[in-house]
A = this chain, B = another copy of it.
Amino acid sequence: MTIDDMDRKLLAALQEDAGQSYAALGEIAGLSAGSAHERVRKLKAAGVIRRTTIEVDPAALGRGVLAYVLLEANAWMGDSREALLDIPAVDEAHIIAGPASVLVKVRTTTTEDLQATLRALHAVDGVTSTQTVVVLESFFERQPAVV
């Protein structure tokens, strides 16, 4: 799909507030409400917009401890996707180039919970060791910029 400047304006506006009316969106992009509606529909159909969702404060849910864990594995971890999905504390999992095999982002309530999560990660098939980086303070976490 070709994304032009109007689409980018619409995407940026929706990232800030997905609840605003198509009339307001049209004004931002220099379009009528109907046209804005049509473009957003196409962006959704093309998969550029995956879904509309809410941004929740993790600390309010009791998920104030953030850590990244490097998993070293002795086998290809391609089949470990589901095992990692089943650990609720794991928000992200990536196969990486470099010293370890998989990088995992973890949020827990307490450091004790973090310990329990590390045990769960150790139990995943193929994992031989973990290296944990605890976040002391987050400067910011934002969505991919619509350049």
Residues of chain A touching chain B, judged by Cβ–Cβ distance below 8 Å, are 1, 3, 11, 14-19, 46-58, 60-63, 66, 68, 81, 84-85, 88-89, 91-99, 102-103, 107, 132-147
Contact = CB atoms under 8 A, between A and B. Distances in A.
Contact of A138 (B94, B98, B133): B94
A48 B55 contact: no
Contact of A91 (B54, B103, B143): B143
A53 B56 contact: no
B144 A98 contact: no
A108 B88 CA distance: 28
B140 A93 contact: yes
Contact of A96 (B1, B88, B103, B133): B133
Nearest to A141: B92
A92 B92 CA distance: 13
B133 A53 contact: no
Q: Point out which of A89, A95, A134, A135 has the most chain B C-beta atoms below 10 A from its C-beta.
A: A135
A144 B61 contact: yes
Nearest to A131: B98
Contacts of A55: 49-53, 143
Contacts of A63: 144
